[in-house]
Amino acid sequence: MLTNFFSNTKPVNSLFIIALFVCYLVIGFFTEISFSLNISTFCWYLALFGFVNFVNSRNNLTFDNSYFFLFFVFLLGCFPSTVNVNSFFYSNLVLVIFVRRVYSLQSSKNITKKLFDSGLWLGISFLIEPFSLVFSFFIYLAMILHQHVDFKKLFIPILGFVSPVILFFTYSFWYESLESFYKLFYWYTYYDFTFYNQFPLKLILTGILSVTFIALLLKTPKALAVKNKFRKSWILVCFHFLLALVLLIIVKDRNGTEILYILFPSAIILANGFELFQKKWFADIILILFLIVSFGSYFL
């Protein structure tokens, strides 16, 4: 029944999923897990939903259904600490806009503009979270996969990247606060993962990562077997997930919101793996289990 309902992209499906997110907000507020029950938080996450759904649908990263959006919200429910508007959220939001430009390189239109924009958005994300610089590899992998490599184009993302960085340097220099600029290049971190030892966070994170890797193993042979645009996009999705994991490991000041970095690529992978199940009763059981875990995370 659930599988049939979410097998299309009707507006009622999106409204239902947004209502599910509101339920998470309300439960998080009353269980004192999250104190972000306000219009501002809701609007910021609506913006995030709009961007991730646009990236997914525009680049055909999943089939024409609501599974991706559903899994994305399920994952937010599984990790209540991700529902927090802070620097990690803003950095992630900018990275979503960044990957939108990178995934769109599958089209040969406006390549120069897309490359400059991707570097520009990465530069903005760098100002918020310096370690997001690891996503620079994502641009060049996309250029190689979509055969947009030449000497001039290699420097276009760099020009886009340095533009906001130079502006920030100018601002810092003018207001005599260069120390804030220099801090962007203090690339050291603390490998202290005691935050993730909390129950049930450790259990749920391990479970979600395990399921994502299983979906990755199931989908990858089928995706690589056919030479089409999706094959290249799938390689990018896998690399996106890998870079998000690296970023999750190296960020400083862990508070749980940084898990948001892996939710977008993880939801794409889960949706693609979920679409492989032919028996609807089995697919329904999986959705119900995700629903139970997402609500259970607030009471365990």
Rounded CA separation 243/220 (Å):
17
11-30 helix and 67-78 helix, angle to the nearest 10 degrees: 0
Rounded CA separation 135/122 (Å):
8
Rounded CA separation 50/265 (Å):
15
Alpha-helix runs per DSSP H in 1-66: 2-5, 11-30, 39-58
Quote the pLDDT of residue 107. Answer: 85
Quote the pLDDT of residue 266. Answer: 97
**Three-state secondary structure string covering 111-157:** HHHHHHHHHHHHHHHHHHCHHHHHHHHHHHHHHHHCCCCCHHHHHHH
Low-confidence ranges of the chain (pLDDT < 50): none
- 85-125 pLDDT, tens digit per residue, is 999 999 999 999 999 999 999 988 899 999 999 999 999 99
* Residue carrying structure tokens 């995030």: 48
Structure tokens at 174: 């003018």
Quote the pLDDT of residue 34. Answer: 64
Quote the pLDDT of residue 279. Answer: 80
Does the reported pTM lie above 0.85?
yes
DSSP letter string over 218-255? HHHHHHHHS-SHHHHHHHHHHHHHHHHHHHHHH-SS--
CB contact at 8 A, 97 and 83:
no
Q: Please tell me the number of Cα atoms within 13 Å of 263 on its side-chain side.
A: 29
Quote the pLDDT of residue 194. Answer: 84
DSSP state of 298: T
Structure tokens at 12: 């009622």
